[in-house]
Amino acid sequence: MEKASSRLKILALLVAVMFAALGTRLWFLQVLASERFRTEADNNQTRVAESDALRGSIKTADGKTLVNNVPSLEVRVDKQTLEASGEADRVLLDLSDLLQIPVKDLRDSINDPRYYDYQPKPVAEFVKKNVALYLSERRDQFPGVEVVPASVRDYPQGREAAHILGYLGLIQKEQLADPQYRDYGQSDLVGRTGLELQYEKYLRGTKGQQKFIVNADGETIRALGEVPPRPGDDLHLAIDSGVQQAVEEELFRGLESARSQVDDAGGNGLLLKAPAGAAVVMDVKTGGVVAMASWPNYDPRWFVKGLTPGQSRYLFKSSQSPSVNRAIGLTYKPGSIFKPLVALAAVKEGVASLGTYYPCPAEWVAPGDTSGAVFTNWSATDLAPMTIAESLRTSCDTVYYQFGYDFWARWRPDSFGTNNEPFQRDLRQWGFGTPAEVDLPGSEAGVIPDAKFAADHPDTYPDGWVPGGDVLLAIGSGDTLVTPMQMASAYSALANGGHLCRPHVVDKIVDADKNVVKTVGGRCDAQLPYSQPELNSITSALETVTTSGTAASAFSGFPLSSYPVAGKTGTAERPPFQSTSWFASFAPANDPRYAVVVMVEQGGYGSQTAAPIARHIYEHLFGLGVSGNVYGGAQD
């Protein structure tokens, strides 16, 4: 009995000790160690690895693909697995030999702070298939190394429309701080120029996500779920691939031909330099940009693998600035292609009338001017009095000098009020002085100089806005600056009855399910304050420019009876450089469809270089056989 009692006492003691130990342990876990375990639990966090979406493609109106995506084999390295293998140095050395990439560069890629350590990091792309196969068959020799398919931008049409398309680049630090890019990561590619930038939010798509649980050391514990990426939207352009190719070819051919021509406008006996130019073809009824070319251009495929030092110098440090889209991104004096718009302003404001005859002497001096300033016509002979229509056909400067002076005399800034000149106001209504509303980034505003401009530039205008400012503005000279796109938009309005259309490159945006997300074009609701008879008078006058006027030599043999072309040549002097050659036009004049504007830097007379290029573009547009050499006309 005593033995049983002793055993019970021992058992009770053991139970008490066990409960005491258990209670102590529970107290330790819940009180003393709670903070440590809370920290460890917090450190077992959910991390998200994102996968890029396929970027939307870009297609032309005639169904050609200008930009899409192609697969690329990419080598990635899982840093954790590589280091855990204990063979990191040997693996990197073997990988360096295989990929022909220095070990240092491989280490830099593996330690790239733009990626999480639990993410496999890219170290090489565009890997050859035999290299990829070699790595895949020897996984045990290359722990942590994998070959995965990726996608990169592809340009099936090569250089075509490069300035329109733009290119991608790694997101910049300042962009990451912009709310517009709040969903982007440090390693993301974004549109840097052109349509890639303008329509970034549509082209980008939505990233996919794969979730992981990782511990405090960043080691993966297990994978959770995955949300697949959604591809970006496709852009369908107003650009016609066939026309775009033709415009680029004719611009290049015209520049080459010009370089064998003597600079007649300069009268110095030197050959034209013609280093660069631009051309725009616009649908006058919709504002759709059918083609836009800028030379010199570049190959957008360079940006896929990364620019070489030579390519970078050519694009961004060359004096020719090949990366700039000259159709919208640089401004030029327009010269005589401005005269139709000046004539309409003069008629509207009562400075001139369509039926009146105006003298066209070889020289003109402002009334009462004793400074000795003489304004000359392009022709050294008196061309006799003429109407506005005849002044456009012959491109008489001295008629327009008088118009400019009359504007100044009637609305002198010191009596009428600065920045309230009707002449400048009327010209700005065509879209000058503000960036063209085309759906591309980098559009320049240009300048319509006035009294305020003079006040802001006292070094150039120490006496304020003197008569010479309006006199030179009347022939598109002085400080007047425009872009080829602005001129194409203005001539489209001239052709369509005075409706100023919003130029657009993209016609519609379509998602991956073929649904139209957005329609871009079609806005032609701005009505200019000119009557149809006034516009018809100017249009009729511009038709004579190609039949018997300054562009007659360029259009010799062209079937003008079937496809009448209304146009205006322009020769804008810009010492010490050779003159800028212009031709602005639309056709068929009796039922306008297209506006064509051509500009050639240091191309001499408008009839000499720009007009022949425009002729060849029209031959493509109307399905005519392309004529031979029609370059070399020597008229403004």
The three-point CA angle 428-434-282 to 5° equals 85
Q: What are 435-453's pLDDT values in tens digits? A: 999 999 999 999 999 999 9
What is the predicted pLDDT for the residue at 212?
A: 67
Of all helices (H) and strands (E), which one includes residue 209? strand 208-214
**Higher-confidence residue: 274 or 105?**
274
**Higher-confidence residue: 137 or 282?**
282
Rounded to whole angstroms, the Cα distance separating 18 from 37 reads 24
Q: For tokens 């010490």, what's the residue? A: 576
Token representation of residue 445: 């505003």
Q: For tokens 């302003």, what's the residue? A: 345
Q: What is the mean pLDDT of residues 259-275?
A: 91
The lowest-confidence range among 11-20, 343-352, 361-370, 583-592 is 11-20
Q: What are 96-125's pLDDT values in tens digits? A: 999 889 989 889 888 877 666 666 788 887
Please determine, for residue 416, whether its predicted confidence score (pLDDT) is greater than 60: no
| pLDDT band, very low/low/confident/very high, at 537 (cuts 50, 70, 90) | very high
Please determine, for residue 173, whether its predicted confidence score (pLDDT) is greater than 90: no
CB 481 within 8 A of CB 522: no
Identify the burial level of 118 via C-beta atoms within 10 angstroms of its C-beta, where 0-12 means exposed, 13-18 middle and 19 or more buried: middle
Please determine, for residue 345, whether its predicted confidence score (pLDDT) is greater than 70: yes
Please determine, for residue 544, whether its predicted confidence score (pLDDT) is greater than 90: yes
Rounded to whole angstroms, the Cα distance separating 268 from 275 reads 18
CB 599 within 8 A of CB 294: no
What is the pLDDT of the chain when averaged over all its residues? 89
No. of helices (H) and no. of strands (E), the chain: 23, 21
- The residues that bridge with 333 in the sheet, in sequence order, are none
Q: What is the mean pLDDT of residues 186-211?
A: 89
Q: What are 557-575's pLDDT values in tens digits? A: 999 999 999 999 999 999 9
Please determine, for residue 48, whether its predicted confidence score (pLDDT) is greater than 80: no
CB 271 within 8 A of CB 488: no
- What global pTM score does this model have? 0.85
Phi, psi of 521 (to 5 degrees): -85, -175
For the chain, which domains are there? Answer: 70-151 (3.30.1390), 241-621 (3.40.710.10)
| pLDDT band, very low/low/confident/very high, at 72 (cuts 50, 70, 90) | confident
**CA torsion 305→309→314→319, rounded to 10°?**
150
